[in-house]
Structure 1
Amino acid sequence: MASITRRSRATTDSSPAAAMDRLVEAFERLLARGESFTTISVEELAREAGMARATFYLHCRNKGQLVSHAMQAVQLQLKTAARARLKKSGSYGRAEFQAFMREVVEILFRHRYAIWAMNEVSASRPDMKCVFINGEDFTNELIHYIYAKKNMSEFHNKYRSADLLIVDDIQFIKGKEQTQEEFFHTFNAVTQEGHQIVLSSDKPPKEMGTLDERLRTRFEWGLLADIQPPDFETRMAIIKQKARDLEFDIPDDVVQYIAEKVKSNIRQLEGAVKRMKAIVTIQGAAKNITTAQSAIKDILTESRPIPQTIEKIISEVARTYGANPADIRSSKRDAPISQMRQIAMYVVSEVTGLTQEAIGREFSGRHHTTVIYALREIKDKIDRDPSLKATVNDIIKNVQQA
């Protein structure tokens, strides 16, 4: 039976600066694999950096801040190299100059993908300020500003000065009075300047039961569009286009197989193509249906009914630690049960991608801030304790293979 109290002596630098460096390195690795700034999701960044999605937002506001941090790192390295050369005594001739230029080129080449991303951000419309966020992250960022007693004018300026404000999963703010009040003023500020707002949700405004009436009427001002999952022909076209974008040729029978199996959304279709390319490139596998099956296996696992998956996770955590699944869902607060519950929440977040609010509902209606704390706590412990990390990875593996 796995130990729930044992801790490793190994330590990891978990400072904000170190976390940002990890994120920038992960960002550059993803760019090097052929992804672009616009297509890389926060989930991919967090996973590549070995941290939970919630941890990403503890250290970084958005992807744009990562690019800015990367540019600052490049600038610092160039300055350091220049100072080191200037401090050297003696003559500064042709050979020294060539050595310095080689060092500059090496620094720029090392960070070429981040530099390309910066160009991508500014090329199409350098004067346009676009802000993209989802409802949960807007809420979490607002909470962070309030509890950290930060200057709220920074928060206001970030969103209210946007030329284009895109908010995904806006339904997350319903029932949250302070968040709704803040977004009400943000909505007014953006629209009064004649700028655009694009909102997405899982239901129309009139069906958002606890949404402030002032927001409901404003949400109904614009064009309402019902976006359905892509049909079979559209899925095939998307797969082919994503393959072309990645310069990866896929046989028609494989395209058809993926389109038949992956039906949920465009991101999963894109993920299937990327995973297949990785398997073919790294493992030398053939471009056939067998390889496609391996590529989409995890995606199909992710598409399982959420309640069944959560039950499997809770049962697997309980089995691992020799506990009763009912205790994990209960309100018991003794240390071992509390940590099992936190582990279960962490695994649910990693496997299902549910919002923190939704995860809280699955665990006896706990508040989403409790879930945020649990995710942060387990991530920190995993960073310090290789044994716990291995146990959690085994739980995730067993759930996905079940």
Structure 2
Amino acid sequence: MGKWDYSIFWQEALNQLKTELTEQEFAMWFNMEYENSQESTVIVSVPSAFYRDQVIQRYQNLIESVFYELSGQKITVEFEVKARNKDLVSSELKENQESRKTTKSELFLKKGAEAVKRTEHAQLRKDYVFDNFVIGENNSFAANAAIAIAKNPGLAYNPCLIYGGVGLGKTHLMQAIGNLAWKERGNKIIYITAENFTNEFVNAIRTQTTQKFKNKYRTADVLLIDDIHFLQKKNETQEELFHTFNALYDANKQIIFTCDRPVSELKNLSERLRSRFERGLNVDLLPPSYETRCAILAKKMEQRGVNIPKEVIDLIAKNISSNVRDLESSLTKLIAYFELTKKPVTLEVAQQQLRDSFGSPRQNNVTVDIIQKVVAEYFSLSYSDLRGKKRTKAISFPRQIAMYIAREITEYSTTELGIEFGGRDHSTVMHGCQKIEERLKAEPSLETTIQKLNQLIKDYNS
């Protein structure tokens, strides 16, 4: 035994932690091996960097406190990544499986029966699976976290909030978790949008069936709620979701949300519900890089069984940078052209068919600053007028138009737009956009003005 051999303390610490944690939690996160020690440091190995980061965040303080109780001195635990022998890992997994109460024959019969019953989940899109989700540098963290959640719902990263702009794959990733958990584990999965959750709750109050509503959502194994930004100002629905959250979390059931912005930017949300959203893992999805856009288009072509020239794919990837939805829309248009005209899709054809998509300000990295300058010049105002505090009609109307255009062609949230327009509240931005929408219905000529401004913005940015 070396001078600073803490292997006996390490083994005793594991024994003690095993009694303090649940069997599943210990089996999942304490797949570590003692390596060596120094005077006040113990070094243990873990199978991956991802595993290391999570153990440090979740358990390092706990492990070190147990060491202190056992040894009477402060010992730091360090984690190093070390690849494991596959046979050894398989053996450990086998032992964990055999330690379960269910016998192999019972497990086989149970899985066989469930496999017959489980085909496709009624609430989930069958194409929203991990195999169809292209992972790139913009979404790798979110995707890997989602896979970990699907394999161990309720144990890894609970709750989880996935946020980002439109068309970036939030719903795809959320439903992929549900599909995998449903097919492999047979969990009770409930997927619903925040709007429909609200509607169901209102209907339950109206029909005096709130207990039935509570039983439905509080007995789920995995609850997926899409677009929680819709819950702003819905105080009673927030209250119900708060209690539903607590019931599921206390029962170690998985809860996953999506939102179009970080939860910190949701202003009309109760603080205690906000704290629940922020309690777990919050991951963001960013617009895909050029390489990821090419990979997404290749994947979509493979799924559709079509072949489009590489130079056309390159053209789309370079000109459509906003989100996955816009990429797919452009590809679908070219596929439709080919199927309906029976003519090949050449570079010239693609440029002609997609000229409107390529010309959209959304694809040209337009900033709020550019929009403000163009609108101010068009209405013969100064740039500072739109960002200032004056509320005269001559300034407020152009400011509202600028807000409306910014919301339509950028990925900024209303909170971010409020900051760009002189530190205004997001509700002011929403009100301004609503005023323009109302005027568009009553004054068709205003549409022409906005189209002209969009063209000016595009020209300014080119």
TM-score (norm 2): 0.44
Structure with greater helix percent: 1
TM-score (norm 1): 0.49
Higher RCO (CA-CA < 8 Å; seq separation 6+): 1
